[in-house]
Structure 1
Amino acid sequence: MSDAQPRNPLHGLTLENIVTKLVEHYGWAELARQVDINCFKTDPSVKSSLKFLRKMPWARKQVEELYLATF
């Protein structure tokens, strides 16, 4: 069943991978400018960002859209 989502470009990527790659590419300051959420602005960390993004689908969607636009 590895073909379950052949047209989903995020298939196989974890949210942690997405956030980590975006931080490596942009850095926290630019990431906070691109996606205006406090978990990227105030004492940012991957762990705290994941906790917030898992609870807020609208924020996760913005992060995933930025990932797709960037990579």
Structure 2
Amino acid sequence: MEKQQSKDPLHGITLKTILEKLEAHFGFDTLGELIKIKCFNDNPSIKSSLTFLRKTDWARKEVEELYVKNVSKFL
């Protein structure tokens, strides 16, 4: 029997990878415009953004949704 692949684009991808791909594609300036959170606008870094997103469910959800909407650009 063959294994079925998950149709979830977030399956098997870490938050760090999502953030790195979004930052490489959009940059923190554009991310800060698309998602209004301080960690993208005030002295942004991957590390500080990960810390905030891991603690803040609504912000993480917005970042994940942005990734899903743009996942074809990252493949």
Q: Name the structure 2 match of 1:58.
A: 58
Q: CA RMSD in A?
A: 1.6
Q: Give 5+ residue unaligned stretches, structure 1.
A: none
TM-score, normalization: structure 1?
A: 0.90
TM-score, normalization: structure 2?
A: 0.85
4+ residue stretches of structure 1 with deviation over 6 A? none
Identical-residue share of aligned pairs (%): 51
Q: Give 5+ residue unaligned stretches, structure 2.
A: none
Q: Name the structure 2 match of 1:29.
A: 29
* Distance of aligned partners of 1:11 and 1:70 in 2 relative to their CA distance in 1, 3 Å threshold: same
Structure of higher RCO (CA pairs closer than 8 Å, 6+ residues apart): 2
The structure with the larger Rg is: 2
Number of aligned positions between the proteins: 69
